[in-house]
C-alpha cells in the first residue's frame, strides 16, 4: 500500500514560521525566503571616491549589512509598440556587460513622455549567460503603457532608468 506524502508547506506557512522564530515581521518575497540572505537596496556617494554599496538583510540576524558594490546605472528612451509594450535588453544600450554577474536589487523607473495622461508599468528578468548559466549577463526589461481606461496604449514614448548590481566574475 502506498502512503501519500504530505504536501510541502506553502510559502505563506514558511514565512509565518520564520516570523515566529525570529520574533518580528519579515518584509520579503517568497523567492527571498529560500535564500535566508537577500538584497534590500543600493546606494552610492558620487564624488571623488565614488563609493557604491549594496545593502543586504538576513532572516535570522537583525540589521543591515553593507558591502562595496559595482553599480550599473543606465538610462534610455523608447516607444511602445502597437500592442502597448516594448521588450528590450540592457545590452542594447550598454557597450559591454561582459565579465559581470548582474544581480538584485534591480531598480527601474519608467516615465511616459506625453501631454496626454498614460500609465506605465514594467517587469524585468535577469538573463542567464548561455556559456555559464549560474551567472546573469543581461537584463530583459518589458515596459507596458496603458491609457486611463486601462487599455494598452500604442506608440507612447517613454524614458527609463535602471540601476543594478554588477558583481565581477573571478574564475
Stated pTM of the model: 0.74
Residues 151 and 103 grouped into a single domain? yes
Determine the structural domain holding residue 153 and report its residue range: 71-168
Q: What is the pLDDT of residues 153-164, one digit of tens each?
A: 999 999 999 999
Q: Do residues 63 and 98 share a domain? A: no
Are 128 and 95 part of one and the same domain? yes
- Per-residue pLDDT tens digits for 19-77: 887 787 877 776 666 566 666 777 776 655 677 888 888 777 778 888 888 888 999 99
Are 91 and 151 within one domain? yes
pLDDT tens sequence across 99-144? 788 988 899 999 999 999 999 999 999 999 898 888 899 999 999 9
Query: 153 and 85 in one domain?
Result: yes
Statement to judge: residues 102 and 63 lie in one domain: no
Q: Per-residue DSSP letters for the chain?
A: -PPPPPPPPPHHHHHHHHHHHHTS-----HHHHTTSEEEEEEEEE-SSS-EEEEEEEESSS-S-EEEE--EEEEEEEEE--TTSEEEEEGGGTSS--TTEEEEEEEEEEEEEE-SS--EEEEEEEEEEETTEEEEEEEEEEEEEEE-TTS-B-TT-EEEEEEEEEEEEP--
The structural domain count of the chain equals: 2
Same domain, yes or no: 164 and 116: yes
Amino acid at each position: 500500500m502506498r502512503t501519500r506524502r504530505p504536501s510541502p508547506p506553502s510559502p505563506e506557512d514558511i514565512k509565518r514560521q520564520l516570523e515566529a522564530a525570529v520574533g518580528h515581521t519579515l518584509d520579503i518575497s517568497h523567492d527571498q525566503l529560500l535564500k535566508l540572505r537577500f538584497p534590500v537596496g543600493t546606494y552610492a556617494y558620487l564624488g571623488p571616491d565614488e563609493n557604491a554599496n549594496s545593502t543586504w538583510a538576513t532572516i535570522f540576524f537583525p540589521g543591515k549589512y553593507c558591502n562595496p558594490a559595482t553599480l550599473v546605472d543606465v538610462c534610455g528612451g523608447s516607444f511602445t509598440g502597437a500592442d502597448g509594450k516594448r521588450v528590450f535588453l540592457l545590452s542594447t544600450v550598454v557597450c559591454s556587460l561582459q565579465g559581470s554577474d548582474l544581480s538584485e536589487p534591480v531598480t527601474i523607473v519608467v516615465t511616459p513622455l506625453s501631454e496626454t495622461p498614460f500609465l506605465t508599468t514594467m517587469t524585468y528578468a535577469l538573463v542567464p549567460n548561455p556559456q555559464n548559466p549560474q551567472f546573469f549577463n543581461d537584463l530583459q526589461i518589458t515596459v507596458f503603457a496603458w491609457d486611463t481606461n486601462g487599455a494598452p496604449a500604442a506608440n507612447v514614448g517613454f524614458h527609463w532608468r535602471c540601476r543594478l548590481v554588477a558583481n565581477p566574475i573571478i574564475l
